[in-house]
Amino acid sequence: MTVWAIGDLQGCYDATQRLLERIAFDPARDTLWFCGDLVNRGGQSLETLRLVHSLRDNSVVVLGNHDLSLLAIGERREEEQRKVNPDLQRVVLAPDRDELLGWLRMQKLVHADRELGWMMVHAGLAPKWTTQLAERYAREVEKSLHGDQYRRLFKNMYGDRPAWNPQLAGADRHRAIINVFTRLRYCSPRGRIAFEDKGSPGTQPAGLYPWYAVPGRVERDLKIVCGHWSTLGLFIGHGVHAIDTGAVWGGKLTALQLDTDELRVVQVPGRDVPPGSRPLPKPRPSQRRQPDSRGAPAAK
């Protein structure tokens, strides 16, 4: 059995199929971990969601910010749904939308396999969160998400405030937890998220750090695989493996093998994008070089 983690799909169905072919995915023996943001921007969100749903017996999904937004849109009136972008409209107006969205809502915010030695989250963890705390906080939100309070959760989850504080309660607590798991890139040593700063490390204002490199952060007992941060590119360091390599922006779609001590990364071309679209992230000295498309290990 092989376990692969796959970066943000964002509605790039063709690239997803290319990657599954490249890794020779076999549902009889292999397992896929999807790092969230299955949908939006790629133009093939409905096809992508149907594909991942068809693989549900052989995969694990954590929810990203775009997935949660889709779920919230799915609860709006039809006239409001017709105002969102065409890619998401096709999902919420599809004949099988209830099956797809019902399944998506039951997915996790965090997945941990302690035997394998890995935790998966879409964006990141607050500086003081151990993996055990992360699981506990995720379960708090998932209780509402998977239960009969999910509409209230969707109604109250938007907003940048408050910053995480363990004393928070109610909707504020759930919103802060969701923001950490699905929107985190940079933060202060006290864990205040800088939502507007999305560039590669070195572009952020003084006093902000990538979430995985904050001074005074806790040590964690699991390796972490995540997505969300396309301008970071393929990054491996501090016990973190970030694998959103900008497939939706014309970059690569990345798979990382988890059940091996060797570093095995496989990539395929992402979506074709028109000229003038968002630029791809540039490699930096602190970032390991990306492998070739044949899946050779990344150089140290």
What SS3 class is residue 31?
strand
pLDDT at 85: 95
Supply 237's token pair: 């360091």
pTM of this structure: 0.92
* Average pLDDT rounded to a whole number, residues 61-86: 96
Q: What are phi and psi of 129, to 5 degrees?
A: -85, 115
Cα distances (angstroms) measured from residue 191 to each of 157, 254, 259:
19, 29, 31
pLDDT at 291: 41
CA dist., res. 226 & res. 249, Å (int): 18
More confidently predicted of 285 and 167: 167
pLDDT at 276: 61
Looking up tokens 């376990």, which residue turns up? Answer: 3
pLDDT at 277: 62
Q: Please, which pLDDT band fits residue 289 given cuts at 50, 70 and 90?
A: very low
Min mean pLDDT across 7-11, 106-110, 293-297 is at 293-297
pLDDT at 280: 52
CB 288 within 8 A of CB 300: yes
pLDDT at 160: 97
* Average pLDDT rounded to a whole number, residues 224-231: 98
Q: Please, which pLDDT band fits residue 193 given cuts at 50, 70 and 90?
A: very high
- Going from N- to C-terminal start, the domains of the chain cover 3-269
**Residue 266 DSSP code:** E
The amino acid occupying position 251 is G
* Average pLDDT rounded to a whole number, residues 200-223: 97
CA dist., res. 271 & res. 141, Å (int): 33
Q: Of 18, 24, 22, 17, give the one whose Cα is nearest residue 1.
A: 24
CA dist., res. 194 & res. 44, Å (int): 30
pLDDT, tens only, 260-288 = 999 999 999 999 887 666 655 444 433 34
CA dist., res. 145 & res. 25, Å (int): 30
What SS3 class is residue 110?
strand
pLDDT, tens only, 94-142 = 999 999 999 999 999 999 999 999 999 999 999 999 999 999 999 999 9
Q: Is the dihedral of CA 134, 220, 225, 257 positive or negative?
A: negative
pLDDT at 300: 27
pLDDT at 278: 60
pLDDT, tens only, 245-261 = 999 999 999 999 999 99
pLDDT > 90 fraction of the chain, expressed in percent and rounded: 90
**Residue 114 DSSP code:** T
Total residues found in the chain within this entry:
300
CA dist., res. 60 & res. 57, Å (int): 8
Q: What angle do CA 163, 168, 173 make, to 5 degrees?
A: 75
- What CATH number should be reported for the domain whose range is 3-269? 3.60.21.10
Instruction: Give strand pairing partners of 253.
Output: 268
* Average pLDDT rounded to a whole number, residues 15-39: 97
CB 88 within 8 A of CB 43: no
pLDDT at 279: 53
pLDDT at 1: 86
Q: Give me the chain's average pLDDT, please.
A: 92
Query: Which parts of 147-259 fold into alpha helices (H)?
Result: 150-156, 170-183
Q: Of 63, 70, 66, 71, give the one whose Cα is nearest residue 142.
A: 63
